[in-house]
Amino acid sequence: MSTTVKNKMARRYEEEFKRQAVELLLHSGKTQRQVARELDVSDYSLTLWKKAYLGHQKPAEIEGQMKSPEEMAKIIREQHKEIEYLKRQREILKKAMSILGEEPTNGMR
């Protein structure tokens, strides 16, 4: 076993670091694997931290219905995906509008 693996297994993280890691995961729109890689922690550790973090959160009312923290996290992930999709669509429309708005050259008639 290499020394980096031994060191990685022996690491202990502060509660504040774990909380910030989970909040980054929930609110960044990045995948768990991306966040884990950026923070140099294992996917498994991040999963455990997320379960513990969400377990301490209270249900909240969204659109007249009570939602668990897990359901709220799922809604956030879905909204991030939708936002990214809409951003891509907007960029496509911008490009199309700039192409359609150009004056035709003599060779195009």
Q: How confident is the model at residue 89 (pLDDT cuts 50, 70, 90)?
A: very high
Nearest to 84 by CA among 31, 36, 29: 29
Average pLDDT for 52-60: 80
Average pLDDT for 73-102: 90
The yes-or-no verdict on residue 61 having pLDDT over 50 is yes
The yes-or-no verdict on residue 90 having pLDDT over 70 is yes
How many residues can be counted in the chain? 109
pLDDT above 70 covers what percent of the chain? 87
Quote the CA–CA distance of 4 and 13 in Å, as a whole number: 16
46 exposure class (CB count in 10 Å sphere: 0-12, 13-18, 19+): buried
CA geometry: angle at 56 spanning 55 and 58, to 5°? 95
Q: How confident is the model at residue 1 (pLDDT cuts 50, 70, 90)?
A: very low
